[in-house]
């Protein structure tokens, strides 16, 4: 179940996290997938901040359409996760460089959501990176949409985000 990240220290960034892997070969729990779909749509279709250039370019070059926010991890959602990882690994025209991320079409669960650290093979957790940027760099409608998910998201995600915040994903506890 998707959850709100408990802020235990100033370096904890990102408001939301997933409990189980989403994407190719993942558990694909419905509310985790729904959170991923919404965050991907915000990233590709709502962000206009200085760090969003790589996603806007990818959206235009690949003629991307918004994902259906239905909590089902089908081929379009898996493809968009893969595209996000490819885009994250590219150097953007902003001052945000390429991010060392595995390009495997799935969002792995971070052992400590919101804390910038690298997992196996010194790779960044891609969903954590997206969540961090949405909290810290998104502006205007994108920021408001992300910040207000506990009140505006469809069920079952709204119910999950209404639960008390947690520090760790269920997969690790």
DSSP the chain: --EEBP--STT---SEE-SS-EETTS---HHHHHHHHHHHHHHHHT--STT-HHHHHHHHHTT--PPP-SS---HHHHHHHHHHHHHHHSPPSSS-----B--SSEEPPPSSTTS--B-GGG-B-HHHHHHHHHHHT--HHHHHHHHTHHHHSPTTHHHHHHSPPBSS-GGG-
Q: What is the pLDDT of residue 122?
A: 64
pTM of the complete model: 0.93
Q: How many residues does the chain have?
A: 173
Do the beta carbons of residue 32 and residue 18 sit within 8 Å? yes
CA-to-CA distance for 103 and 173, rounded, in angstroms? 26
Residue 98 reports pLDDT greater than 90: no
Quote the longest CA-to-CA distance of the chain: 41
Instruction: Give the model's pLDDT for residue 87.
Output: 93
Q: Mean per-residue pLDDT for 142-158?
A: 96
Query: Which candidate, 26, 17, 32, 8, places its Cα nearest to that of 111?
Result: 17
Q: What is the pLDDT of residue 117?
A: 58
pLDDT band at 146; cut points 50, 70, 90: very high
d(CA 123, CA 135): 21
Do the beta carbons of residue 4 and residue 165 sit within 8 Å?
yes
pLDDT digits (tens, 9 = 90+) for 29-87: 999 999 999 999 999 999 988 888 889 999 999 999 999 999 999 999 999 999 999 99
Residue range 3-21, pLDDT digits in tens: 999 988 887 888 999 999 9
Gap between the Cα atoms of 65 and 108, Å rounded: 24
Q: Which band of pLDDT confidence, cut at 50, 70 and 90, is reported for residue 139? A: very high
């Amino acid at each position: 179940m998707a959850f709100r990240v408990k802020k235990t220290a100033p370096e904890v960034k990102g408001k939301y996290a997933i409990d189980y892997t989403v994407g190719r070969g993942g558990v694909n729990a419905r509310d985790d997938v729904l959170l991923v779909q919404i965050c991907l749509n915000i990233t590709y279709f709502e962000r206009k901040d200085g760090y969003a250039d790589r996603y806007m370019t990818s959206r235009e070059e690949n003629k991307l359409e918004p994902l259906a926010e239905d909590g089902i991890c089908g081929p379009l959602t898996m493809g968009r996760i893969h595209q996000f990882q490819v885009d994250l690994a590219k150097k953007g025209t902003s001052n945000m460089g390429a991010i060392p991320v595995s390009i495997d079409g799935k969002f792995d669960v971070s052992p400590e959501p919101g804390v910038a650290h690298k997992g196996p093979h010194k790779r960044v957790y891609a969903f954590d990176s997206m969540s961090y940027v949405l909290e810290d760099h998104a502006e205007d409608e994108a920021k408001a949409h992300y910040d207000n998910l506990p009140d505006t998201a469809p069920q079952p995600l709204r119910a999950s985000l209404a639960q008390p915040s947690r520090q760790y994903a269920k997969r690790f506890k």
